[in-house]
Amino acid sequence: MNETVLSRFREQIIEAGKQNQVLSIQGGNTKSWYGNPSRSPILSTKPYQGILDYQPEELVITACAGTSIAEIESILAKNNQILPFEPPHFGDDATFGGVIAAGLAGPARISAGNLRDFVLGTRLMDGRGEDLSFGGKVMKNVAGYDVSRLLPGSLGTLALLLEASVKVLPKPAATASLRCRMGASDALKILNEWAGQPLPLNASAWIGDAGGEGELTIRLAGAKAAVTSASQMMQDRLGATVLDDSEADLFWRNLREQQLSWFSQMPNHHALWRLSLPANCPVLAMPKDCLPEIIMEWHGQERWIQGPANQSTANVLQKLAIQHGGHLTCFRSLSTEAFERFTRLDSNPLTAGFEAVQKRLRHSFDPFGVFTTGRLP
Amino acid sequence: MNAPASSAEIQSLQAKQAILVDALRPFLADDALLWQPEDTIPYECDGLAAYRKMPLAVALPENEEQVVNILKACKALGVPVVPRGSGTGLSGGAMPIEQGLVLSLAKFKKILQVDPFTRTAVVQPGVRNLAISEAVAKHGLYYAPDPSSQIACSIGGNVNENSGGVHCLKYGLTLHNVLRVRAVLMNGDVVEFGSMAPDSPGLDLLAVLIGSEGMLGIVTEITVKLVPKPKLARVIMASFDDIEKGGNAVAAIIAAGIIPAGLEMMDKPTTRAVEEFVHAGYDLNAEAILLCESDGTPEEVEEEIARMNAVLEKQGASRIQVSESEAERLRFWSGRKNAFPAAGRIAADYYCMDGTIPRRHIATLLKRIKGMEAKYGLGCLNVFHAGDGNMHPLILFNGADPDEWHRAEEFGTEILEACVELGGTITGEHGVGIEKINSMCVQFGEQERERFWGVKAAFDPDRLLNPDKAIPTLNRCAEYGRMRVSGGVLPHPELERF
Ligand SMILES: Cc1cc2nc3c(=O)[nH]c(=O)nc-3n(C[C@H](O)[C@H](O)[C@H](O)COP(=O)(O)OP(=O)(O)OC[C@H]3O[C@@H](n4cnc5c(N)ncnc54)[C@H](O)[C@@H]3O)c2cc1C
Ligand SMILES: Cc1cc2nc3c(=O)[nH]c(=O)nc-3n(C[C@H](O)[C@H](O)[C@H](O)COP(=O)(O)OP(=O)(O)OC[C@H]3O[C@@H](n4cnc5c(N)ncnc54)[C@H](O)[C@@H]3O)c2cc1C
């Protein structure tokens, strides 16, 4: 049955190549609003479903791109294992392929690593309809170039992901979440100091007025003894209070799924802007027409800002991000105004060479431009 | 191994050498350009001494501008370039090309910046792996990937091999610990991959550059991630009277939800060889010894050691010892860390293989290797990163006997093919280089190999940077397929032969 699906994919891709047509790869379509808008005909990965291999003691799961991420997480949970990068779902239909192609990670990213860090191997179909396999299912593998890891974050602009093997991890033995009030710059300072010490720091979120006070929530995860002693230390040092487990779970889930009231109260003419920044980036002064209330995740390396959904705000925030060694993405926008959602490579002088390589690389995987949706610049 | 060159060939090589030296001399100091055989001979091979070639010349630039100029000059002349770090590679990746230049990064030795607050260090590629940890120790930090060659190998070489070590099970490979790499492409473009932020715009080309075996760019600067030094580390040494039980214990520890800081295994022949050498007090009757390390806060370590102990007992360990002091911990590890030199003492030469398999097949592979020992009439020691399933069979042979070397090569190839068959790969950390280029034909099909060439061309369209390494050409695989006729049965008889 899957073979038929694959030959349909191949036909669709080859036909598109012949017709000079662009195809928009789609999984659950839970986030068609993420990335530059694209109106190309759809190649749906949903028919290509199933968990192909899962050996808990190997810490690896292999599944088809159209498999729902909820199904994957539930089979892992039965074995007390997790996807350590905590992918958000944004609806029941989210697929494994979509999660990988989006390449994003949730609250634990700062301690667990990026999604691409966990990708071990992929099977994909390129723009000629060729069925290719790279990497594998083992922890260490340096045979050939690491093509698999080009897929995370490629948003369907490089190749069609058919299957992937990802590393999973045991669920931490213990977790605890703590909360206290503090200013943004104190939070940045203390989080970075603690990250340099052997503490079981797993996630952090600071929510408040960029220039003033806010609320810091910290999640600890690891061995029981380590969590207990770190939790005690934070209570003593910061007067932090421990959240009860259900309250903590709800908070981290709502943060991950962007269901906190801060997200849902965004006015229609605003966009949700995401800044990805180096660890030493200080508190940033918010541009005038942006909301002073912000969210900082990943010990300050990921910052969420709400501001007008237009090119001039994009330019101002982009400049701010680049000036501090980071970059900007327009993550979510309800506005119909068309503007650049991602940092373009040519906005940084050092990336001209990078852009040339990327262009040739895309051409080699997709010579007829079947996947050039422009969703990623 | 190489046919002697004819006098016409030697003359043409000398002419090429003169042109290359003239082109490079203007921007290199006198002692930074070598071409006399007595000067270039130390560069004729890397850590895989069985494969050697003399280069046309060796350049030792000391700054990025010189690297740019060298590459531009070589591109204009069509001269291939082989980058070289410390030359400890075990797959011949830094082995010269007869018609090419060796570009050594040995003079790029500066640690440019250490920032304890952001837990990062900016270093030049020639910095030794261990030197980074030494330089940041005063901040309570270290650089986690620790190849056994860490006192000698360069971080530039690590980036190009995606090197790992004992701690990689818990702390990841080079890939997981490098944030940003600056490199010069063959056309002289200086490009940055990755950034100090958690992600950066564009495709993740940094992931492709890491492990690219010097074929995509010359790495000139690297930003690495530093991690806090654990307060305490303790190791359990467990004996098993059966290899199979040892292999199962590895899988059982992981299945119990424990990720040890290190999980290494030695078989009986290895234990015997190293005990004679280091006198660590190893159990000489054990068929397999497992070393399981735990690190973290004292409470964490105590908790984890107790859990690992329980698993090992349940898996039938015949003897269990837990290190009680740092000195004892280092003593337990001393044999594992000295296994290679110990092998060198019991045999004239040894050939170190490097394949990865799913953990559950460890015992299967070890048993198959036993059979191969008889088949090829050569001994083999097994000491490896069990937690990752990364095997390092050491095939013992006498290099003075060409037939033994030939059998050792065949033995190694058969092990790698077994790794692929068991669902694994032909190299976990040493790279493909020149050594395993034929085995690439076993692991990858023609279409994948073509796409690898596409990646190469995206960075280096003229194929001048370390060509003939790692990615086999179509012809090469066809040739190889013809050569490997075992037991009169042609592999893939359905395929047309050239
Ligand atoms: C606001 C928001 C926040 C998010 N935050 C996170 C986060 O923190 N962590 C995280 O991990 N994820 C995050 N995601 C990603 C998202 O939750 C998952 O990626 C999601 O489940 C997408 O699956 P989907 O099947 O709906 O993808 P779709 O919306 O169908 O597709 C997403 C993109 O992937 C491409 N694509 C889909 N399938 C394939 C395939 N098989 N091969 C090649 N390309 C393909 C599409 O072309 C498209 O560009 C976020 C998404 C949104 C909208
Ligand atoms: C005793 C011993 C034990 C070892 N143990 C391990 C181990 O545990 N784990 C492990 O992973 N490896 C191990 N190795 C292999 C080796 O040390 C590693 O592969 C190491 O990363 C090589 O580093 P190097 O500086 O010596 O590189 P070299 O051998 O000089 O070069 C390796 C490759 O990288 C390229 N290269 C080097 N520098 C650059 C640069 N700046 N830019 C572009 N390309 C470059 C070269 O062209 C070549 O292809 C061991 C080797 C020995 C001899």
Please write the tens of the pLDDT for every residue from B114-164: 999 999 999 999 999 999 999 999 999 999 999 989 999 999 999 999 999
Question: What's the pLDDT score for residue A88?
Answer: 73
Between residues A159 and B491, which one has the greater pLDDT? A159
Distance B164 CA to ligand 2 centre (A): 10
- Residue A239: CB partners within 8 Å, gap ≥ 6? A180
Chain B residues closer than 8 Å to A198 by CB: 228-231, 296-297
For B171, name the nearest residue in chain A, comparing CA atoms only.
A112
> Which residue, among B178, B203, B225, B447, would best test binding to A if mutated, counting the most A CBs under 10 Å from its CB?
B203
Mapped onto helix, strand or coil, the DSSP state of residue B38 is: helix
Look up the pTM and report it. Answer: 0.93
Gap between the Cα atoms of B444 and B264, Å rounded: 29
The answer to whether B455 contacts A147, with C-beta atoms less than 8 Å apart, is yes
Asked whether residue B486 carries a pLDDT value surpassing 70, the answer given is: no
Closest CA relative to residue B102, chosen from B157, B45, B152, B47:
B45
Gap between the Cα atoms of A97 and B140, Å rounded: 40
- Atom index in ligand 1 nearest the CA of residue A26 equals 30
Pocket test for ligand 2, best of B153, B162, B464 (most atoms within 8 A of CB): B153
Distance B88 CA to ligand 2 centre (A): 5
- Least CB-CB distance to B423: which of A137, A353, A360? A137
Mean pLDDT value across residues A109-126 = 95
Residue A172 contacts residue A221 (beta carbons within 8 Å): yes
The answer to whether A342 contacts B120, with C-beta atoms less than 8 Å apart, is no
- Residue B299: CB partners within 8 Å, gap ≥ 6? A223, A225, A226, A228, A229
Question: What's the pLDDT score for residue B487?
Answer: 44
Closest CA relative to residue A31, chosen from A105, A122, A95:
A95
ipTM of this model? Answer: 0.95
Tell me the backbone φ, ψ of residue A283, rounded to 5 degrees. Answer: -65, 130
Question: What's the pLDDT score for residue A37?
Answer: 80
The answer to whether B172 contacts A113, with C-beta atoms less than 8 Å apart, is yes
Mean pLDDT value across residues A12-28 = 95
Pocket flag, ligand 1, residue A185 (CB < 6 Å): no
- Atom index in ligand 2 nearest the CA of residue B47 equals 53
In this prediction, residue B496 has a pLDDT band, given cuts at 50, 70 and 90, of very low
Mean pLDDT value across residues B381-404 = 94
The answer to whether A225 contacts B297, with C-beta atoms less than 8 Å apart, is yes
How near does any CA of chain B get to the CA of A223, in Å? 6
Q: What is the pLDDT of residues B433-463, one digit of tens each?
A: 999 999 999 999 999 999 999 999 999 999 9
How does the average pLDDT of chain A come out, rounded? 93
Q: What is the pLDDT of residues B170-213, one digit of tens each?
A: 999 999 999 999 999 999 999 999 999 999 999 999 999 999 99
Question: The tokens of A344 are what?
Answer: 């373009």
Percent of chain A whose pLDDT exceeds 70: 99
How near does any CA of chain B get to the CA of A4, in Å? 21
DSSP run (H or E) holding A166: strand A160-167
Question: What's the pLDDT score for residue B10?
Answer: 82
Question: The tokens of A67 are what?
Answer: 């498999």
Asked whether residue B408 carries a pLDDT value surpassing 50, the answer given is: yes
Question: What's the pLDDT score for residue B492?
Answer: 43
Residue that is written with structure tokens 């949903």 in the block: A46
Pocket flag, ligand 1, residue A372 (CB < 6 Å): no
Question: What's the pLDDT score for residue B1?
Answer: 45
Distance B85 CA to ligand 2 centre (A): 7
Distance B136 CA to ligand 2 centre (A): 22
Chain B residues closer than 8 Å to A201 by CB: none
DSSP state of B229: P
Asked whether residue B165 carries a pLDDT value surpassing 60, the answer given is: yes
The residues facing A295 across adjacent strands are A207, A304
Mean pLDDT value across residues B463-479 = 92
